[in-house]
Amino acid sequence: MAQSSPQHSPDARSNRGRRRRILSLVSKREAARVSRLLRAEVVGGLIVIAAALVGFIAANSPITEHYFALRDTRIGPESLHLDLSIGAWASDGLLAIFFFMVGLELKREFVDGALRRFSTAIVPVAAAFGGVAVPALIYAGINAGGPGAHGWAVPTATDIAFAVAILGLIAPRIPPALRMFLLTLAVVDDFIAIAIIAVFYTDEVDLTALALAAIPIAVYAVVARRYAARIATSPWAPWLILLPLGIIAWALFHASGIHATIAGVALAFTVPVSGRGGTQLAEVLEHRFRPLSTGIAVPVFAFFAAGVAIGGDSRFPFDPIAIGVMAGLVIGKPLGIALTTWLLTRFTRAELDPAVRWRELIGVGALAGVGFTVALLVTELSFADEADADTARLAVMAGSLIAVVLAAAFLMRPASSRATRAG
């Protein structure tokens, strides 16, 4: 008598029935919150794209001298070591607002979002680490022993606003779980980038300034926690109480030698995001400061960071720096994310939700290769030589564009195919 094959045995079917599904549909509450964030990021992404395009055109137009003169104009009190160029103010100062928003969203995810549960956190967290490690290894392998080796972190970052904006344009009907996966992965990716900046791009630390920075941060934390409800209902308290404390903390972080944008994350982590008053305050701060981030801070940074003259000293596209950055973004990101997710399904009791296809997962991984804002910031920190920096900047922009094309190839489907799937 023929024996039933192992894969069709009752035990095997029972084991498959007990396998934990990953990237399954999210709850209605989480779906509503993610949809709200995605709408804000789409708008922000489109603004940043426009600002970067204007900056690139300005750097390669008859007004190029005026553009670079504006970027290099120094303003600020020299006695406080804040006589920075406008370009430096954009990267060190304005981006602190962006990192504050990232820190606020990251804390919300850990306290009240997808990252609070191991079962939902393990996939995007592991995928984010894979999406950082593989591009870094690819870049390091191409630039091993060369002058550009220090830029290994450039292709590791994912730009949330850019990636989400492009996702909304090329795949508006993608499963909600994959949207949440990209958003959560990008938030964790930014957290890793923050840690990289703090650890690997800090040469010397002024412990006195760092200790002094703890004072306004502590006051900020006490005020935000003890008077959360009052501040949330006041139209002026966030601007006249919390913002000045944040500026003082930023200035002291800048003086300490640690990149000043880290102050934004430190301040965000002190804001309560749960409980009646905490939730209300977090939402108010997000509502008040997000327009500053998406409408001013990140676009101004993009305007100056994307300003690379094609006919300048850049060695793009055949220099190892350029090849390493583009290979890391275009190949490393989707490979690291998809491979890590596959390993989780291969060696754990987990499987992809039926609503999610591997093709779409790879497409989302490719979209994570859109590394603009943080990648350009890391470029500035990595290369002192302007030719190296310009080469890396052009590679970030070109690699991000290629990543979008690759993602579209995986994510876009004919209308007939979408109708068949919906049916």
For the stretch 296-339, pLDDT in tens is: 999 999 999 888 888 767 789 899 999 999 999 999 999 999 99
pLDDT at 26: 56
| Mean pLDDT score across all residues of the chain | 84
CA distance 164 to 151: 26
**Residue 186 contacts by C-beta under 8 Å, 6 or more apart in sequence?**
128, 158, 159, 160, 163, 164, 368
Q: Which domains does the chain carry?
A: 27-167+174-422 (1.20.1530.10)
User: Residue 1 has what pLDDT?
Assistant: 46
pLDDT digits (tens, 9 = 90+) for 190-238: 889 888 988 888 878 899 999 999 999 999 999 999 999 899 888 899 9
**pLDDT (average), residues 78-86:** 85
- State both tokens at 389: 């920096």
Per-residue model confidence as pLDDT tens digits over 240-286: 999 999 999 999 999 998 888 899 999 999 999 887 776 788 888 98
CA distance linking residue 393 with residue 310, whole number of Å? 11
Give the DSSP H/E element, type plus range, for residue 279. Answer: helix 276-292
For the CA atoms of the chain, what is the radius of gyration? Answer: 23
pLDDT tens digits along 345-369:
888 776 777 777 889 999 999 999 9
Task: List all residues 6 or more positions away from 199 whose beta carbon is below 8 Å from its beta carbon.
Answer: none
Cα–Cα–Cα angle for 155, 161, 166, nearest 5°? 90
Cα separation, 223 vs 77, whole angstroms: 29
Q: For the segment 106-145, what is each residue's pLDDT rounded down to a tens digit?
A: 888 888 777 777 777 788 889 999 999 999 999 999 999 9
Q: Report the candidate in 54, 23, 6, 15 with the shortest Cα–Cα distance to residue 361.
A: 23
**Which string of b and e fits 346-368 if b means at least 16 CB within 10 Å?**
eeeebbbeeebbeebbbbbbbbb
Q: Is the pTM of this model over 0.75?
A: yes
275 — alpha (psi -120 to 50), left (phi > 0) or beta? left
Specify which of 79-83, 280-284, 381-385 reaches the highest per-range mean pLDDT.
Answer: 381-385
